[in-house]
Amino acid sequence: MFTQGIAGAIPKMRSGETSGAMTDDPERFEELVREHQAMVFSMACRYLRNRALAEEIAQDVFLQLYRKLPSLESSEHVLHWLRWVTAHRLIDHSRQEKRRPQSPLEDAGEPVAADSTGNADPLLSEMLRDLVASLPENARVVMILRYQEDLDPMDIARALDMPIATVKSHLQRSLALLREQLSRTKGVGL
């Protein structure tokens, strides 16, 4: 569980960074949106497996960023803030959804566009995305940050304000679960 607030979780300026708050200049904001939209949207999309909902949540996160910009101190601060807020928005969203009675249609979600994954097996990729999306909330976010954002466990722990042991535990359990699921459903041995 995340225990501290965002202020404690987001790393402050590191040495060598330019001091001073980020400006809420519209052009600067547009740059930031373009720079980080793939990260925010992808986190939401992988987590929710619903493009429309993912865009909606990503849009909310950026609007929240716009209001928060003057208090953010650097580009890195912005990046960490976006990861932290997106992760928490997604977890909160899925918890709310659990409490809300849903129709079967809503549960199904929207189909996610097939993507080109280079040499990867598109079917396997699709299956992995489904399996990741079925993990418990915290484990799901940890997996997304590990494999989408390529963060090491220490950075994930810092980004989510989570003990590193918990992060490692989530990773190990999730990978074991995925391996088991894959071998069971498709006989894929990874």
Partner 1 sequence: MNLDDELRAALRREDPAPDFTQRVLAGRVVARAKATHQSNRPIFRMAWAAAVAALLIIGLTATYEVRQMKAERAGRDAVLALRIAADKLNSAREKVVRLEN
**Nearest distance from residue 64's CB to partner 1, in Å?**
9
The neighbour count for residue 139, using CB atoms within 10 Å, is 18
Q: Which is nearer to partner 1, 72 or 128 (CB)?
A: 128
**Nearest distance from residue 171's CB to partner 1, in Å?**
10
Q: Which is nearer to partner 1, 13 or 124 (CB)?
A: 124
What is each CA distance from 43 to 54, 101, 181, 183, in whole angstroms?
A: 8, 25, 22, 26
Among the listed residues 28, 35, 93, the one whose alpha carbon sits nearest the alpha carbon of residue 60: 93
**Nearest distance from residue 186's CB to partner 1, in Å?**
12
98 binds partner 1 (CB under 8 A): no
| Cα distance between residue 110 and residue 48, in whole Å | 10
Q: Which residues contact 108 (CB under 8 A, 6 or more apart)?
A: none
| Cα distance between residue 22 and residue 9, in whole Å | 19
Stretch in the footprint of partner 1 (CB under 8 A) among 7-15, 77-85, 111-119, 153-161? 111-119
Among the listed residues 161, 153, 141, the one whose alpha carbon sits nearest the alpha carbon of residue 48: 141
Among 132, 142, 157, 167, binds partner 1 (CB under 8 A): 132
What is each CA distance from 40 to 6, 15, 82, 145, in whole angstroms?
A: 17, 26, 7, 11
Stretch in the footprint of partner 1 (CB under 8 A) among 13-21, 83-91, 96-104, 140-148? 140-148
Stretch in the footprint of partner 1 (CB under 8 A) among 35-43, 78-86, 93-101, 162-170? 35-43
Q: Which is nearer to partner 1, 21 or 38 (CB)?
A: 38
Residues that bind partner 1 (CB under 8 A): 26, 29-30, 33-34, 37-39, 41-42, 45-46, 51, 54-55, 58-59, 62-63, 66-67, 115, 117-121, 124-126, 128-129, 132, 143-144, 146-148, 150, 175, 178-179, 182, 190
